[in-house]
Amino acid sequence: EPFIQYDRKVVAGKLGDDYLRRHDIRPKVQFELDGIEHIAQLVAEGFGVSILPDWPNIGPHDKRVKRWPLPEPCPERSVGIVWLRNSMRSPLAEAFLAQMAGSAT
């Protein structure tokens, strides 16, 4: 089956590529793109399969497209918030930090 590679220069694309290599999987790469929505659309149109981050709002809501979680151990990615050191944090940043502090306990 043709494989649609998420761009290996992008963090999530590199994580997917590393996962395949660790499992000694060498797919037949047909395309390599950096747009998650475009990759999901190509899958929906039957151009191949792909490994993408599990984000709920990506890709077409097409009943022909099926999602499966990868077998463990799966790659993980940490995210955070950044702001200028000498600036005031916005109300959104403050709310985000408060929410994260509450969920960490």
Report pLDDT digits (tens) over 69-78.
888 888 887 7
Q: Tokens in use for 55?
A: 């984000």
**Residues in the chain, overall count:** 105
Residue 56 CA to residue 20 CA, distance in Å, equals 22
- Over residues 31-83, the pLDDT tens digits come to 999 988 899 889 989 999 999 887 766 655 677 788 888 888 888 877 777 77
Q: Which pLDDT belongs to residue 104?
A: 61
Q: Which pLDDT belongs to residue 94?
A: 81
85 pLDDT above the threshold of 80: no
Among 7, 9, 21, residue whose Cα is nearest residue 75: 21
Residue 27 CA to residue 77 CA, distance in Å, equals 23
Could you tell me if 3 and 16 are in contact, meaning their C-beta atoms sit under 8 angstroms apart? no
Could you tell me if 35 and 52 are in contact, meaning their C-beta atoms sit under 8 angstroms apart? no
* Least reliable range by pLDDT among 14-18, 27-31, 91-95: 91-95
